[in-house]
Structure 1
Amino acid sequence: MTEQTIIDRSRDLSQPLERLSADERMKDASDYLRGTIAEGLLDQITGSVPSADDVKLMKFHGIYQQDDRDLRDERRRQKLEPAYQFMIRVRLPGGVCSPAQWLKLDELARAHGGDTLRITTRQTFQFHWVLKNSLRPIIQGLHDTLLDTVAACGDDSRGVMCTVDPQSSQFHAQVAAMAKRVSDHVIPKTRAYHEIWYGNERVAGSDSEEPFYGRTYMPRKFKIGFALPPSNDIDVYAQDLGFIAIGGADGLEGFNVVIGGGMGRTDQAPETYPRLASLVGFVPIDRVIVCADAVMAVQRDYGDRKERLHARFKYTIDDKGLDWIKAQIEDRMRAPFEDAKPFSFTSNGDSFGWNMTPDGRHHRTLVIENGRLDLKLLDMLRDVARTHRGTFRLTANQNVIIAGVRSEDRPAIDAILVEHMPDVDDFSVIRRNAIACVALPTCGLAMAESERYLPTLLDRIEEILKRHGLDDEPITIRMSGCPNGCSRPYIAEIGLTGRAPGKYNLYLGGGFHGERLNSMVRENVGEAVILEVLDDTLGRYAREREPGEHFGDFAIRAGIVRAVTEGRFFND
């Protein structure tokens, strides 16, 4: 396939451009993601970027324009523009961060991000409360430590995830290196980022500025992740493209490949649904990049570019058929998939406290509730970073691992932790297995609280668990402020998605290992009903469960919810 063919096929040429979605036309006219962003940043009359198209294009640069929704109504009454601010998401392949990078992130958060950082459910950092004049200082500051925000958002390949569970670390270095290599390979190649944020001069362009993506990039976001059994901490079945590491006596052999996962849905659009990725085969290590290119190319060429609600890879697979999609991928790889290798998952949570790996290094996992690093936690981890000689790893469950600690350094790190937070490990089992999205007041899509509300709801759920003798039972719970599912609620044993202030859909029956979708039990209900349902079902679980049976499995066996075998039946 020639380069020109790749470019031309990145847009559905069977349809005139004017018949495609407005976002497709916007991307096509953006001059490879430049738009008029640079001009908008100079406008001092407003705290926003004035062009609606530029607001969308900035997502490809890792930036979301938002406003403080707690103040929105009052500012409207005062005839003031919204309290605009920005979220900046860092590209951090596999969630691996050096102490020097941590210190720079800390410095930038204190100077420009409201003394807070957030760990996302995709193993990276987000700055919130960033004003327009602080955008360039943050991005240039990140560049000083070889970090960037390229493709952290937008219709491209998002940040690449990788298992960080210390108990799965035999092949971690190899797999993490592969995640970094894939991330660097799949990001857009346009120089727009360097021109706008670093001040580089534009060089002569051509139609080959994006040899893979072309002028219209992907139909929608595309997510890639690497999992190391037995830990499914990245929820590999929620990825558009997942690689499951397979090791042998001689080390890492390659990866089983799963395709078509995705969490997003829309409440009023029953044709939208979450889907778990499908296993299609195995590829050896030397074919991972070729496989990633081939899978992305199929979605690039056949994904829906007319209806954005239908543009994710999961819908392309269900429309075309898995066998047809697999054949198309193999055609582009110029080789068939090998048969999938045996593997098993036993958890999608984190291993807390100290763990030691065969190399003699120690790894300390800290609970960071809902991923929010407030000033107290920033102070603590800044002191750790000043002495730490290993790395930090962010987990997909929004926690932090102080990784690669030498035996002689453990006492010093423990002393720092206890000095700042004597109760640093004082979290219940249910809190250790809970994650939440940001939601209000910053996310423009949020319909209800999530991060700010989940700790309070967990107070009440802990009372229920204690009453039924389930204090030490691991149960996964995820909350999102809207149905888009950033916290992956549709594979949790207890899932909650926002419908309106104080109202949620309640789902039960997801797989503890992330291997099964859950099912709705109550729609658009408040806290009283949520707690009533959980009290009843958890009480039954305590009385009727079988030895070793997880709560999600019990909910299916007991007939509390139906088993959802495929995403397209999720809304039935």
Structure 2
Amino acid sequence: MTGEQLEHPMADDELSRNEHIKDASNFLRGTLAEGLQDEITGAITEDDQQLVKFHGMYLQDDRDLRPERTRKKMEKAFAFMIRVRIPGGVVTPPQWLALDQVARDYSNHTMRLTTRQTVQLHGIIKSNLKPTLQAIDHVVLNTIAACGDVNRNVMCNPNPYQSHAHAAAQDLAKAVSDHLLPATPAYREIWLDGEKIAGGEQEVEEPIYGKTYLPRKFKIVVAVPPSNDVDVFAHDLGFIAILDDKGEVTGWNVTVGGGMGMTHGEPDTYPRTADVMGYCATKDAVAVAEAVVTVQRDWGDRKSRKHARLKYTIEDRGLDNFRAEVERRAGVLLGPAKPFQFTSMGDRYGWSEGDNGRAHLTLYVQAGRVQDRPGAMQMTALRKIAETHDGDFRITPNQNLIIANVPVERQKEIHWLCQEAGLLAPWSGLRRNSMACVALPTCGLALAESERYLPDLLTALDERLAVHGLSADDIVIRMTGCPNGCARPYLAEIGLVGKGPGRYNLYLGAAFDGSRLSKLYAEDVDHAGIVATLDPIFKAYADTREKGERFGDFTIRAGLVAKTGNGRDFHANVKPHAKPVAAE
């Protein structure tokens, strides 16, 4: 592999502002070290707010407090969200305990399991950033490249009941993650008081990323059929395990060009499901991953950040051209894609058998928020388990948690602790298959509530589902507070995307296995409108569905939404209805 780089195909004055910030950053240093010393403000400079993302954090403020602080002429209630880099979502009990301690010492006394299989810590003030990152580093974790225009946390199927296949997926996720880490020592210098390299930037090289890194964020996942829990088609690059008759991995199908984000009212932006580009052997997978990243580095749009993801590069350049360039750079000829089948995108809750008499317990964590509440002391329960557990903890891409490799003698105790903390799977099939982004009050992009609102909506929808005898049916529902799609709503059978305070766009028709995008059904609906719109559809589904038919497939067969393809036709080939079609 070579670090060949092409010049940007546009003049400097055409590049986006972020490109200039990265170019002048001295390999992601900027003025972050100086900004930490400024006690006058809880914020950092505007340019550093972009650079700090590469270090795994976002500057946010509590939007609930904005009006009062504005009236009092006070600075916004600034704090940082920190995202840990955990390839494959696997942490040891000591690592879990360290994150729990950080959450209680420096954060808002909660841990949030994310849709990218890692942990976010919210509410960390600027003066506590270095102690927080040093505590995380002490247990051999870090936050570098968890955000920013780089390859982010690599996800993989976490279910250890498929032991051999999972081990191969975990190994690949870790190998790709390590290989694509930024090389700059800026993270260690600034946050961990590491020794600076003499001579500064002249001795720093980024053999994969170059001085200005990628045009936009980049996301990689590893899937193990029949479970598509990582939503492989939602990401820039994916590897799908191809298994032999014994369940061993023989190689990987490679997918490219997925992505969820879009902007309301801008048809040139759209979600897109990935294409299957070909097949590679395990020994070639890391080389293929690097080649995909470097082609996007050189071909991606650095003028418009809204057009800078790999999905647009492939739409513009064509899959055949992209594949040929990847093969040239990797020195690998991809084979034809091999057959595979996904049957679901959710988690397998409860106990599953493992090896050597051990078992694994998959827990339900509502919207990924681990916290102590009256009657549901979740952080306390998991802390007690971690203090004596000799297995590991595995975060799922659906914001849930697996306590893995539990010996027989501890299973009853752990089950009881989790039951008392409200961590066992709920009775509602809709709730079991729900996800939500954080949104308000901390996300600066949120147009509407998500995490704080979805539980109430689920309660209202569960009442209607019970009337129609659908309480136990697994239906995937996801909500985001804005159209950027962090909870991947466009791949949910019911997707709700924030449009404004208390109002959402409703999407229907995605596939239960995560292979097909949803379609716009109703625009700008409030709580009452969502329930009133979905209720007759639930009734029609209960009354007229075919044997084994999933809810998303039914909405297409019933003519409620069109069966769209991919990419640019997301907006063009929809059939939005102002009112629901009544059941016959």
Task: Give the TM-score band, short-chain normalised.
Answer: over 0.9
2:205 to 200, 204, 209: 209
> TM-score, normalising length from structure 1?
0.97
The residue aligned with 1:469 is 469
The residue aligned with 1:305 is 302
Task: Say which is worse superposed, 420-429 or 134-143, in terms of deviation.
Answer: 420-429
**Is the Cα–Cα contact under 8 Å of residues 208 and 214 in structure 1 kept in the other structure?**
no
**d(CA) in 2 for partners of 1:19, 1:265:** 22
Cα gap change, 1:57 to 1:203, in 2 (>3 Å): same
Task: Within 5 Å, give how 1:223-242 maps onto structure 2.
Answer: 223-242=219-238
Matched, 1:22 2:23: no
**Is the Cα–Cα contact under 8 Å of residues 170 and 358 in structure 1 kept in the other structure?**
no
Cα gap change, 1:545 to 1:249, in 2 (>3 Å): closer
**Is the partner of 1:338 in helix, strand or coil?**
coil
**d(CA) in 1 for partners of 2:128, 2:297:** 34
Once the 2 structures are TM-superposed, how far is the Cα of residue 167 of structure 1 from its aligned partner?
A: 4.3
Once the 2 structures are TM-superposed, how far is the Cα of residue 360 of structure 1 from its aligned partner?
A: 3.9
**Is the partner of 2:568 in helix, strand or coil?**
helix
The residue aligned with 2:580 is none
Question: Which amino acid in structure 2 is aligned with residue 245 of structure 1?
Answer: A
Matched, 1:173 2:167: yes
The residue aligned with 1:510 is 510
Matched, 1:264 2:261: yes
The residue aligned with 1:79 is 73
The residue aligned with 1:333 is 330
Cα gap change, 1:67 to 1:287, in 2 (>3 Å): same
Task: Within 5 Å, give how 1:315-394 maps onto structure 2.
Answer: 315-358=312-355, 360-375=357-372, 376-394=377-395
**d(CA) in 1 for partners of 2:570, 2:203:** 42
**Is the partner of 2:496 in helix, strand or coil?**
strand
**Is the Cα–Cα contact under 8 Å of residues 121 and 398 in structure 1 kept in the other structure?**
yes
**Is the partner of 1:153 in helix, strand or coil?**
coil
Question: Which amino acid in structure 2 is aligned with residue 460 of structure 1?
Answer: A
Question: Which amino acid in structure 1 is aligned with residue 501 of structure 2?
Answer: P
Question: Which amino acid in structure 2 is aligned with residue 118 of structure 1?
Answer: R
Q: What is the number of residues matched between the two proteins?
A: 565
**Is the Cα–Cα contact under 8 Å of residues 164 and 172 in structure 1 kept in the other structure?**
yes
Give the % identical residues.
52
Q: Deviations over 1:507-545 (max 9, x none)?
A: 000110101000001111111211111001111111110
**d(CA) in 2 for partners of 1:422, 1:339:** 47
Matched, 1:31 2:32: no
**Is the partner of 1:59 in helix, strand or coil?**
helix
**d(CA) in 1 for partners of 2:330, 2:437:** 36
The unaligned stretches of length 5 or more in structure 1 are none
Cα gap change, 1:2 to 1:331, in 2 (>3 Å): closer
Matched, 1:537 2:537: yes
Q: Deviations over 1:326-354 (max 9, x none)?
A: 11111112222011121111111001110
**Is the partner of 2:222 in helix, strand or coil?**
strand
Question: Which amino acid in structure 2 is aligned with residue 151 of structure 1?
Answer: A
The residue aligned with 1:286 is 283
**Is the Cα–Cα contact under 8 Å of residues 168 and 229 in structure 1 kept in the other structure?**
no
Once the 2 structures are TM-superposed, how far is the Cα of residue 212 of structure 1 from its aligned partner?
A: 1.2
**Is the Cα–Cα contact under 8 Å of residues 170 and 357 in structure 1 kept in the other structure?**
no
**Is the partner of 2:404 in helix, strand or coil?**
strand
**Is the Cα–Cα contact under 8 Å of residues 497 and 505 in structure 1 kept in the other structure?**
yes
Cα gap change, 1:135 to 1:422, in 2 (>3 Å): closer
**d(CA) in 1 for partners of 2:182, 2:106:** 27
> TM-score, normalising length from structure 2?
0.95
Cα gap change, 1:208 to 1:2, in 2 (>3 Å): farther
**Is the partner of 1:413 in helix, strand or coil?**
helix
Cα gap change, 1:201 to 1:301, in 2 (>3 Å): same
Task: Say which is worse superposed, 224-233 or 14-23, in terms of deviation.
Answer: 14-23
**Is the partner of 1:570 in helix, strand or coil?**
helix
The residue aligned with 2:43 is 48
**Is the partner of 2:446 in helix, strand or coil?**
coil
Q: Deviations over 1:243-287 (max 9, x none)?
A: 001122573211100000000000021100000000011111100
Once the 2 structures are TM-superposed, how far is the Cα of residue 358 of structure 1 from its aligned partner?
A: 5.0
**d(CA) in 1 for partners of 2:476, 2:2:** 47
2:120 to 123, 126, 134: 126
Once the 2 structures are TM-superposed, how far is the Cα of residue 423 of structure 1 from its aligned partner?
A: 7.3
**d(CA) in 1 for partners of 2:273, 2:552:** 16
**Is the Cα–Cα contact under 8 Å of residues 165 and 233 in structure 1 kept in the other structure?**
no
**d(CA) in 1 for partners of 2:424, 2:476:** 21
Question: Which amino acid in structure 1 is aligned with residue 432 of structure 2?
Answer: R
**Is the Cα–Cα contact under 8 Å of residues 255 and 282 in structure 1 kept in the other structure?**
yes
**Is the Cα–Cα contact under 8 Å of residues 18 and 25 in structure 1 kept in the other structure?**
no
The residue aligned with 1:196 is 190
**d(CA) in 1 for partners of 2:340, 2:425:** 32
Task: Say which is worse superposed, 76-85 or 331-340, in terms of deviation.
Answer: 331-340
**d(CA) in 1 for partners of 2:166, 2:358:** 13
The unaligned stretches of length 5 or more in structure 2 are 573-584
Once the 2 structures are TM-superposed, how far is the Cα of residue 206 of structure 1 from its aligned partner?
A: 2.4
**Is the Cα–Cα contact under 8 Å of residues 33 and 192 in structure 1 kept in the other structure?**
yes
**Is the Cα–Cα contact under 8 Å of residues 157 and 222 in structure 1 kept in the other structure?**
yes
**Is the partner of 1:206 in helix, strand or coil?**
helix
**d(CA) in 2 for partners of 1:460, 1:412:** 34
Matched, 1:417 2:397: no
Task: Say which is worse superposed, 328-337 or 243-252, in terms of deviation.
Answer: 243-252
**Is the partner of 1:567 in helix, strand or coil?**
coil
Structure 1 moving runs of 4+ over 6 Å: none
**d(CA) in 2 for partners of 1:425, 1:242:** 29
Matched, 1:254 2:254: no
Q: Deviations over 1:92-130 (max 9, x none)?
A: 000001000000000110001111110000000000011
Q: Deviations over 1:441-476 (max 9, x none)?
A: 000000000000000000110011001110111000
Matched, 1:491 2:485: no
**Is the Cα–Cα contact under 8 Å of residues 378 and 423 in structure 2 kept in the other structure?**
no
1:222 to 213, 218, 221: 218
**d(CA) in 1 for partners of 2:10, 2:206:** 21
**d(CA) in 2 for partners of 1:110, 1:566:** 44
Matched, 1:61 2:55: yes
**d(CA) in 2 for partners of 1:2, 1:318:** 26
